[in-house]
Amino acid sequence: MKILFIVFTILVVVATVVVSSKVCHQDSDCGDAPYALCQSRINILKGLAYDYDRNLLIFAGHIDRTLNLVVASVSVDGSKDKGSTSPLSLKVEYPITTDIPIGSEFSTTIGLQGYSNSLKLAYIINSQRLSSAVGPYFPNNNSVNFIWYPRGYKLATYFDDQQQQSVSEHTLYSCTFGIWRTDFIPTQSFEENDSNHVRLLRLDPDNQYNPKCEFITRANENLYIVQYDFGESGNDFQSVVSVIDRKCVDCPPDSLHEIGRFPFEITGIVVYNNHIYLGAKAEFPTNSNHSGVFEISKTIDGKSKVLQLTQVNVIGLTLGSKGNLYYSTTNSFIYNIDLNSKDKKESIIYSPEKSGGSCSCANYFTGSDCKKCDNGVVQWTKGIPECIKLLPNGRPSKCNENSQCGLEPFALCMDSKCFCREGFSGNKCEICSGTITWDELQFPTCNH
Ligand SMILES: *[C@@H]1O[C@H](CO)[C@@H](O)[C@H](O)[C@H]1NC(C)=O
Ligand SMILES: *[C@@H]1O[C@H](CO)[C@@H](O)[C@H](O)[C@H]1NC(C)=O
Ligand SMILES: *[C@@H]1O[C@H](CO)[C@@H](O)[C@H](O)[C@H]1NC(C)=O
């Protein structure tokens, strides 16, 4: 009896995996388009991370057409990786549902700040009205805990909690108003005076010319940081790379040693085999040679040698295992450079045109044919249907047009929410127990 049960369970699991791991390239591979969609194209936001245990790249982006914001991944199979020429398939890890696109609570995701390997949590960056906010997104309960509000200052983080490290420490290095070492991975806000939160160096927040931190990484005993310096005039932009001993505790400012200045926007840093690799993005087309991946190495006479490896706009850069450098670009490609190969061999990991994806129902539809919309109403945007849940009052929970909210002109769609015009009630806003007056724009008010 027990054996039979186990055999049965294994069969079920295998069957489920086969169905859900089917790779699609277009909607017609998924069944009844556009109710069933192939999620293969994504507009990648800034930030790229590597999951050492699952061997995949993590990033955030908007799925093409449905515009759903998601955390997605591409699996980097170590054996196929080297020299592979065919792009890999996109997998949606989970949707990010906490964005508030309009109104005074406005908060919208603009990138991936980092990724904790020990907790398997993505830390997202939100743009809010007065500042940015950064914190872990919890897919189990679809919530986000914003921990940092760096305001005018930037926040740089390095999650030093990969399994493969010899030291089994879970450390977060961060830089905002100062360079910090936190000997735990924070998932909620904590006191600055926590005994496991040590300041290596103070960056003077009162000095307006003091460059702000953008990126931080560790290699051996050193921390490397990237700062943007706009110069005293404000138009003399340079990215500055500096190094500091990670054992520093409240060290003097000159413990941070500048090792290079670059006249372009650095968008990521990793260190491998005594070489520094920088991602760069050109702000203006005229500076197009200032985009790509650069390798900085020390020559025998102590000078820095700069080698440009590629020439595309980089928005995310991360180091995988075995010397693989991965980077994402403004046009949503992901590439790999094999840093151990003699000619720094490059391959495409993800291509929005050529990569496959997985099938999914259009938003909130269910059923095997993706056409079930229980307790909902179907709304169309740019040829894509969406199943919108109905509220207890019978009105849809989201709208684009007044007509979706009830009878016009008594019903109103404002900030994507349904309302009745002043004084009206009823499921279709059609009830007025008083007298109706019309203003000069021919909008009604119900006077009681
Ligand atoms: C969601 O789950 C995480 C971790 O399980 C927890 O720390 C957090 O407080 C939860 N948030 C809410 C709103 O329940
Ligand atoms: C840390 O700061 C908080 C509030 O600023 C205070 O309540 C707490 O006592 C402080 N803890 C220590 C160990 O100083
Ligand atoms: C990039 O362009 C600048 C000016 O346009 C030029 O001085 C510089 O040599 C170029 N660098 C490379 C690596 O081509």
Considering the domain boundaries, does residue 4 fall inside one? no
Residues 300, 416, single domain; the answer is no
What's the confidence (pLDDT) of residue 393?
Answer: 83
Which ligand minimizes its atom distance to the CA of 289? 3
Pair (146, 226) in one structural domain: yes
Which residues, given as ranges, of the chain have pLDDT below 70?
Answer: 1-21, 78-85, 163-168, 205-210, 284-289
- Measure 191 CA to ligand 2 centroid, in angstroms: 7
Give residue 258 CA to ligand 3 midpoint distance, Å: 23
The set of long-range contacts for 248-256, using a CB threshold of 8 Å and a minimum separation of 24, is: 248/179, 248/200, 248/201, 249/198, 249/199, 249/200, 250/199, 250/200, 250/201, 250/202, 251/200, 251/201, 252/201, 253/201, 253/202, 253/204, 255/200, 255/201, 256/179, 256/201, 256/225
Q: Determine the residue of 278, 288, 289 to mutate for testing ligand 3's pocket, defined as the one with the most ligand atoms within 8 A of the Cβ atom.
A: 289
Measured by CA distance, the residue closest to atom 3 of ligand 2 is 191
Q: What is the CATH number of the domain that holds 138?
A: 2.120.10.30
Three-class DSSP category at 137: strand
Per-residue model confidence (pLDDT) at position 377: 93
Q: Given the CA of residue 289, which atom of ligand 3 is nearest to it?
A: 1
- Give yes or no: residues 38 and 175 share one domain: yes
Query: Which of 295, 322, 356 finishes a domain?
Result: 356
**The domain boundary residue, chosen from 306, 324, 356:** 356
Judge whether 27 lies within some domain.
no
Same domain, 386 and 253: no
Quick one: 96 and 154 in the same domain? yes
Q: Rounded distance, CA 173 to CA 183, Å?
A: 9
Is 301 in the same domain as 380? no
pLDDT of residue 290: 84
Q: With a 6 A CB cut-off, is 187 part of the ligand 1 pocket?
A: yes
pLDDT of the residue at 284: 58
Let me know if residue 190 belongs to a domain: yes
Q: Is residue 68 part of a domain?
A: yes
Spatial separation of the C-alpha atoms in residues 407 and 218, rounded to whole Å: 61
Task: Please tell me whether residues 64 and 125 are part of one structural domain.
Answer: yes
DSSP string covering 208-255, please? TTSPEEEEEEEETTEEEEEEEE-TTTS---EEEEEEEETT-SSB-GGG
pLDDT of residue 72: 97
Domain of 425?
Answer: 364-447
Q: Whose CA is nearest to atom 10 of ligand 2?
A: 193
- If one counts the domains in the chain, the total is 2
Q: Of 303, 335, 356, which marks where a domain is finished?
A: 356
Residues 6+ apart with CB under 8 A from 149: 131, 132, 133, 134
Q: Is the shortest distance between the CB of 98 and ligand 1 below 6 Å?
A: no
Residues 39 and 164 in one domain: yes
| Residue 413 resides in a domain | yes
Do 272 and 375 fall into the same domain?
no
Say how many Å lie between the CA of residue 154 and the centre of ligand 3.
29
Q: Note the ligand closest to the C-alpha atom of 197.
A: 2
Residue 308, ligand 3, Cβ within 6 A: yes
Same domain, 329 and 372: no
Q: How far is the CA of 290 from the centre of ligand 3 (A)?
A: 8
Q: Give distance in angstroms: CA of 394 to centre of ligand 2.
A: 50
User: How much distance in Å is there from the Cα of 366 to the middle of ligand 1?
Assistant: 27
